[in-house]
């Protein structure tokens, strides 16, 4: 039976509800100095605003080493009623200082960390500390793998992470998010992961909507990949109207079953509870009504409910560990 791994335990996909596929309740990065999300009370309030805007669940996409706080996320999930899927893995190279401890780990050792997060639970604050626990005393486990690349480039650090993610995916079947810069190198990432044994159907390409070309998106759909649309409320990059046009065109081309939607607001200066705007509620209160007017309620439900549940589903065994029919390691690249 397929289940979705949330911070409070495994969830039946049929009961997941409407999912925001990409947000951050906590984050800290050298690229975002002064824009950190570290206040549990404020993040709880922001999560409540997201819940009130019509969402039942979200992915907290903060990976290892960037200020994630699994115990606080579990408390927020319990207090708000918002199902939260946590993330393991690593972001693109630029988010980590030159001396960051994660750089000392090769692909196999990173994969071991990712597998521990998925199967046994995450540490409280990432650096091999005591295990994080839910308010009920259970381990707080991740439900998603993440990697990231830069603009038209894949550094040695990023390649090691992609290999590690592939190893962990092969052992578990866990879904994968890959951060792309402006949707560059989308095919190249899928090609690399395919050589490592990862089918595109297990991968969502975050920020795919930064490239407004529907033909590219339909090429990625034809390969089986998921399209992560998370660029709302960013008119300096791409307006909501352009994103609506793109979504409508991709659906017209047959891509409805491959779209996921999120906000990726990510910064304190954009969170209402931290004194900024537009906040996590923008997606539900401002963008989705416009999307419904374009494509109808049925397709919106498909994206938020059915697509997200399919993407996030795994199969656990009786011990609670997650199984995959794939081999225990990628076919190539393990030692890269």
Smallest CA-to-CA distance from 228 within 247, 213, 245 is with: 247
Residue 22, classed as helix, strand or coil, is strand
**Residue that has been written with the tokens 């019509």 in this structure:** 54
Q: Calculate Rg over the CA atoms of the chain.
A: 18
Q: Is 258 annotated as a binding residue?
A: no
Nearest to 225 by CA among 213, 208, 246: 208
Tell whether 24 is in a known binding site: yes
| Integer Cα distance of 94 and 83 in angstroms | 30
Copy the structure tokens of residue 48.
């409540």
DSSP string spanning 35-99? Answer: --B--HHHHHHHHHHHHHTT-SEEEE---TTS---HHHHHHHHHHH--EEEEEEE---GGGS-TT
Report the distance separating Cα 306 and Cα 206, nearest Å.
18
Is 117 assigned a ligand-binding role in the annotation? no
329 is in an annotated binding site: no
In terms of Cα–Cα distance, which of 213, 173, 169, 211 is closest to 192? 169
Q: Is 207 annotated as a binding residue?
A: yes
Does the annotation flag 128 for ligand binding? no
Q: Between the CA of residue 281 and those of 52, 61, 284, 297, 311, what are the distances in Å?
A: 8, 17, 6, 19, 23
User: Which sign, positive or negative, has the C-alpha torsion 219, 224, 227, 228?
Assistant: negative
Residues annotated within a binding site for Zn(2+): 22, 24, 146, 179, 207, 264
Residues annotated within a binding site: 22, 24, 146, 179, 207, 264
């Amino acid at each position: 039976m397929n289940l979705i791994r949330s911070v409070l335990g495994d969830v039946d996909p049929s009961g997941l509800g409407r999912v925001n596929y990409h947000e951050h309740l906590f984050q800290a990065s050298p690229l975002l100095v002064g824009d950190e999300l570290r206040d549990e009370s404020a993040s709880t309030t922001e999560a409540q605003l997201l819940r009130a805007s019509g969402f039942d669940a979200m992915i907290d996409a903060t990976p290892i080493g960037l200020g994630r706080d699994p115990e606080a996320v579990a408390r927020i999930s319990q207090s708000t009623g918002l199902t939260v899927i946590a993330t393991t893995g690593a972001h693109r190279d630029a988010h980590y200082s030159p001396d960051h401890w994660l750089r000392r780990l090769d692909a196999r050792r990173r994969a071991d960390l990712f597998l521990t997060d998925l199967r046994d639970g995450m540490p409280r604050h990432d650096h091999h500390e005591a295990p994080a626990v839910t308010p009920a005393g259970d381990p707080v486990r991740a439900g998603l793998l993440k990697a990231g690349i830069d603009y038209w480039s894949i550094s040695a650090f990023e390649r090691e992470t992609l290999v590690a993610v592939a190893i962990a995916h092969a052992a578990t079947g866990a879904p994968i998010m890959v951060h792309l810069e402006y949707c560059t190198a989308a095919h190249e990432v899928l090609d690399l992961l395919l050589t490592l044994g990862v089918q595109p159907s297990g991968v969502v390409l975050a920020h795919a909507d930064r490239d407004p070309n529907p033909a590219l998106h339909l090429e990625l759909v034809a390969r089986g990949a998921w399209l992560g649309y998370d660029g709302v409320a960013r008119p300096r990059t791409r307006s909501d109207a352009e994103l609506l046009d793109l979504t409508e065109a991709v659906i017209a081309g047959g891509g409805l079953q491959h779209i996921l939607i999120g906000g990726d607001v990510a910064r304190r200066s954009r969170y209402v509870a931290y004194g900024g705007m537009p906040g996590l509620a923008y997606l539900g209160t401002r963008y989705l009504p416009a999307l419904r007017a374009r494509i109808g309620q049925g397709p919106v439900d498909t994206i938020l409910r059915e697509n997200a549940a399919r993407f996030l589903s795994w199969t656990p065994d009786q011990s609670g560990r997650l199984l995959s029919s794939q081999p225990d390691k990628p076919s190539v690249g393990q030692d890269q």
